[in-house]
Amino acid sequence: MLRSLFIIFFYQLLGEAIQKFFEINIPGPVIGLTLLLLTFIFFSKKFTQSKKIIKEISAISHQIINYLSLLFVPIGVGVVMHINYLGDNLFTIFSIIIIGTLATLVFTAIVMEKTINLEKKNGKRR
Amino acid sequence: MAREDKLYKIWVYLQAEPLFWITLTLGAYLVGDYLYKKSKLNPLVNPVAISILIVSSVLLFLDVSYDRYFEGAKFIHFMLGPATVALAIPIYEKRNLITKEVKPIIFSICLGIPFAILITFYLGKFFGLSNEMILTMIPRNVTAPIAMGISELIGGIPSLTAIITIITGIIGASLGTFLLNVFKIKDMSARGFAFGLASHGIGTARAMSKNKTAGVFAALAMGLSGIATSLFVLIIIKLLI
């Protein structure tokens, strides 16, 4: 478990360092995620030993990810406590967020489902 | 009197300790989760929204500042980084599903992101918001650090963008499932991808808790939409403003 935690923390650290060094607009943890993924894809084929580590990290990662929602509570509370920053526009902003977000969500889901089905049909014809 | 004095002293001591606020946050989340399960997993009863409301009410009732609360809550907040890195594992485990759908993924990003930008822009115009406020709102569908960067770049107000981004995540996560059911979207990868694209990490957390395939596609969409929004936003804004 300690080894897995170390690897996860280390990759985040690596991501943060790269983000600061190259001054890119992508958050450190997302860079860490990408690097860890690339490491797995690249090394799991080369060493059978790394399969064991992947299994170990997998167990702990699923544990953390199960509580992903909880981790957003502190920021969410911050938003509620600072909601007056939005000022007179509060109602307008909320309306735009609700309509805009839900429309985007449905639009994207429909586009994706349609293209997946299209791909399936084309695949069958071939 | 003496006893009340003692209780007050204990409270003064405890509220200055991180432990109190960590315990409150965990407790509030457990209540939210309990109500969610009790409601037979009704998507409108969102554990995150409930726990945020509980904690905020406690803070307002006890007249405790957010900074004081965050002294404790930062330990929970801290885990967001490692948890994001940990998303690499489910993505790795489902990599075959992803490579199968490369074309739909690219297609959905190239249509979904411009749609997200344009709908915020035109809704903003429709409701008569100032240009600065519209620019502040535009990057709201991507993860907060990226959204703030984009906001600064295009002339919005980054701190407001952060608030708007989090609200977007919570709205998408709590109302999204319900709406996707109304539109009868069944494909788990399409549902997840839409969550990640429209409501970043909070949407991803939501998708992940329902279905691992949906969660993986949400995480993927969250990452891709951050990059795609940075690219599309500059082109679209040049054309519009």
A116 Cβ contact list (under 8 Å, min separation 6):
B101, B104, B187, B189, B190
Shortest Cα distance, chain B CAs vs residue A3, angstroms: 14
Q: Looking at the structure, do residues B72 and B168 belong to the same domain, yes or no?
A: no
Q: Looking at the structure, do residues B61 and B171 belong to the same domain, yes or no?
A: no
Q: Looking at the structure, do residues B96 and B65 belong to the same domain, yes or no?
A: no
Q: Looking at the structure, do residues B69 and B145 belong to the same domain, yes or no?
A: no
Residues of A (61-100) whose Cβ lies below 8 Å from B: 61-62, 64-83, 85-86, 89, 92-100
Q: How many domains, chain B?
A: 2
Task: Give this complex's ipTM.
Answer: 0.90
Q: Which residues of B touch A96 (CB under 8 A)?
A: 120, 123-124, 127, 129, 137
Q: Looking at the structure, do residues B45 and B117 belong to the same domain, yes or no?
A: no
Give the whole-angstrom CA distance, residue B7 versus residue B9: 5
Say if the Cβ atoms of A70 and B51 lie within 8 Å.
yes
Q: Looking at the structure, do residues B186 and B235 belong to the same domain, yes or no?
A: yes
**CB hemisphere CA count around B2 (13 angstroms):** 0
Q: Looking at the structure, do residues B189 and B207 belong to the same domain, yes or no?
A: yes
- The pLDDT of residue A125 is 59
Residues in chain B, total: 241
Mark the ranges of chain A whose per-residue pLDDT is less than 50. Answer: none
For B96-118, the DSSP string reads HHHHHTHHHHHHHHHHHHHHHHH
Q: Looking at the structure, do residues B138 and B111 belong to the same domain, yes or no?
A: yes
Q: Looking at the structure, do residues B166 and B202 belong to the same domain, yes or no?
A: yes
* Assigned token pair, B241: 């403003």
Say if the Cβ atoms of A108 and B197 lie within 8 Å.
yes
CB burial string B199-233: b at 16+ within 10 A, e below: bbbbbbbbbbbbebbbbbbbbbbbbbbbbbbbebb
Give the orientation angle of helix B47-62 with respect to helix A73-81, to 10 degrees.
50
Q: Looking at the structure, do residues B68 and B17 belong to the same domain, yes or no?
A: yes
- The pLDDT of residue A48 is 61
Residue that finishes a domain, picked among B21, B54, B78:
B78
Say if the Cβ atoms of B171 and A97 lie within 8 Å.
yes
Q: Is the model's pTM score more than 0.95? A: no
Domain range for B24 is 2-78
Residues in chain A, total: 126
CB-nearest partner of B230 from A15, A25, A97: A25
Q: Looking at the structure, do residues B7 and B36 belong to the same domain, yes or no?
A: yes
Q: Looking at the structure, do residues B131 and B236 belong to the same domain, yes or no?
A: yes
pLDDT in tens, chain B (241 residues): 577 788 888 888 888 889 999 999 999 999 999 999 899 878 788 899 999 999 999 999 999 999 999 999 999 999 999 999 999 999 998 999 999 999 999 999 999 999 999 999 999 999 999 999 999 999 999 999 899 999 999 999 999 999 999 999 999 999 999 999 999 999 999 999 999 999 999 999 999 988 999 999 999 999 999 989 998 998 998 888 7
Residue that finishes a domain, picked among B78, B93, B120:
B78
Give the whole-angstrom CA distance, residue B223 versus residue B220: 5
Residue that finishes a domain, picked among B53, B78, B103:
B78
